[in-house]
Structure 1
Amino acid sequence: MPLDLVTLRCLKDNYAYLLHGDSGTALIDAPEAMPVLTELEARGWTLDAILLTHHHADHVDGVAEIVAATGAKVIGAKADASRLPALDVSVRPGEPLEMLDEPVEVIDVSGHTVGHVAFHFPRSGYAFTADSLMAMGCGRLFEGDAAMMWASLSRLNALPEDTLICSGHDYCAANGAFALSVDPDNEALKTRIKEVADAHQPCAPATLAEERATNPFLRVNDLRASLGMQGAADAEVFARLRRMKDDF
């Protein structure tokens, strides 16, 4: 059975995630403390670990308060350790990690920041991608470049199609509007935008298959011709789309 997954809304438009199994509970990212501590108390769960994807304040500002309340260990990328809260465990992409009695793949998804990692739980079928691959979009390139982000998205796109992509923000209205502007005949995209608007529920997680069908940053082959970029490399098409989104 997969680990129990709870999606938490934090701050204005952030998501954090609780994972729970027979051996304990883990949190992925800590935008703020109160929603996390409230949920833990309501469910009677004890937090064992906090996994951090990257150093931005809206993903780590709740760490100190949560650690003080729970004693949870903090896990993050060794390459980003100087910018993260104090780590109890440093990890590197490709090195083995186990959490809640499951193997975890640490994936380099640099681009939004350098040192950003995603955590893939293959047995449960979850990938925590934060501000790399997002619902109908991807993160802005604050530190990396387009080639770096394209390589990161390609790593994530190689995961099984039923993987749940657990991203870091609810930017679905803006991402959906941009996606529709460059992919106006995409019926799957139109359906997803309507369902998100009607549901008033978190728009993440979503399966990788759903992202492949609706996310323009995974659809460079489908959009290449409409952008007049026949013959251009995938990373070049991605770069054009990213610039267009920045200006949208």
Structure 2
Amino acid sequence: MQLRALPAFADNYIWALADESGRALFVDPGEAAPVLAVIADGLQPAGVLLTHHHHDHIGGTRELLAHWPDLPVIAPVDERIPHASRRVGDGERVDVASWTFEVLEIPGHTRSHIAFHGHGLVFCGDTLFSLGCGRMFEGTPAQMHASLSRLSALPSTTQVCCGHEYTLANAAFALTVDPGNTDLLRRAAEARSQLDQGQPTLPATLASERACNPFLRTDAPAIGAAVARRLGREPHDAVETFAELRRWKDGFTA
């Protein structure tokens, strides 16, 4: 099994997962060109997985279907996503070619956002980023916190395959919140080195994210203390801690 992060637009990743025979799944093809390029190099398209309706994650699907009209396209239940051959919800099983994934509903960034979990991978779109999380365009802090908690409960070896190269920018905020975190300091240095070498910072292990990502550590004393200083009081619970962290990040400039 080969996993590749295909750069798209300014900072998106389209994920390509290929088996030994060269059949490939493509996750969140916001544009078709990067997918067509690797297919020209020998991959055979087997299916498309879509995590949410935003154009930078689904925009290339129509062109791919123009080339391969019978290509399976698996998407959440959302009328804003055209061209889906199957719409799936929480707990459903997706079988495409040699892969099987479980669907997890993870609302918050959008109301219908889903993730695909299997084979030691989680394709989580714009809900969980390395060292960060997505903005809440359609959900509540409670929903987003629950979705992140659900992802965090997956096995620690899970590879987090998210939709954007935001790691270094997220690291600047995370270090502002949690400057004494040695795991975070190492991860930030690693991310800078990877980017300097022209490599993606993803996927990241869930174990690393649990140790470094402040949005997965709302119960940690250091995160609670940082939020308490901003609020001028102790936060009521982990959801309020998360909500204030997200507000802080929304207005943050490095």
Task: State the TM-score, normalizing by the size of structure 2.
Answer: 0.91
Coordinate RMSD, CA, aligned = 1.4
Tell me, in whole angstroms, the C-alpha distance in 2 between the residues paired with 1:95 and 1:129: 16
- In structure 2, what is the equivalent of residue 190 of structure 1? 185
Tell me, in whole angstroms, the C-alpha distance in 2 between the residues paired with 1:14 and 1:66: 18
Asked if 1:140 is matched to 2:135, the reply is yes
Tell me, in whole angstroms, the C-alpha distance in 1 between the residues paired with 2:63 and 2:8: 15
- In structure 1, what is the equivalent of residue 74 of structure 2? 75
Residue 231 of structure 1, CA deviation: 6.3
- In structure 1, what is the equivalent of residue 109 of structure 2? 112
Aligned ranges 1:1-248 → 2 under 5 Å: 3-22=1-20, 24-42=23-41, 44-71=42-69, 72-78=71-77, 80=78, 82-121=79-118, 124-200=119-195, 201-222=199-220, 223-228=223-228, 230=234, 232-248=236-252
CA contact (8 A) 1:76 1:87 kept: yes
Count of residues in correspondence between the two structures: 241
Residue 148 of structure 1, CA deviation: 0.5
CA contact (8 A) 2:12 2:164 kept: yes
Per-residue Cα deviation, 1:188-240 (whole angstroms, up to 9, x for no partner):
11111111112221111100001111111001122113322646211111111
Instruction: Please list every run of at least 4 consecutive aligned residues from structure 1 whose deviation after the TM superposition is greater than 6 angstroms.
Output: none
Tell me, in whole angstroms, the C-alpha distance in 2 between the residues paired with 1:224 and 1:118: 28
Tell me, in whole angstroms, the C-alpha distance in 1 between the residues paired with 2:109 and 2:211: 22
Tell me, in whole angstroms, the C-alpha distance in 1 between the residues paired with 2:46 and 2:151: 26
What SS is found at the alignment partner of 2:123?
Answer: strand
CA contact (8 A) 1:161 1:207 kept: yes
Residue 22 of structure 1, CA deviation: 4.6
Per-residue Cα deviation, 1:133-183 (whole angstroms, up to 9, x for no partner):
111100000010110001100110110000000000011222111000000
CA contact (8 A) 1:8 1:35 kept: yes
Tell me, in whole angstroms, the C-alpha distance in 1 between the residues paired with 2:96 and 2:239: 34
What SS is found at the alignment partner of 1:142?
Answer: coil
Residue 69 of structure 1, CA deviation: 2.1
What SS is found at the alignment partner of 2:227?
Answer: coil
Tell me, in whole angstroms, the C-alpha distance in 2 between the residues paired with 1:236 and 1:140: 16
The unaligned stretches of length 5 or more in structure 1 are none
The residue type equivalent to 2:93 in the other structure is: P
What SS is found at the alignment partner of 1:50?
Answer: strand
Fraction of identical pairs, as percent: 44
Tell me, in whole angstroms, the C-alpha distance in 1 between the residues paired with 2:32 and 2:93: 28
The unaligned stretches of length 5 or more in structure 2 are none
CA contact (8 A) 2:109 2:144 kept: yes
Task: State the TM-score, normalizing by the size of structure 1.
Answer: 0.93
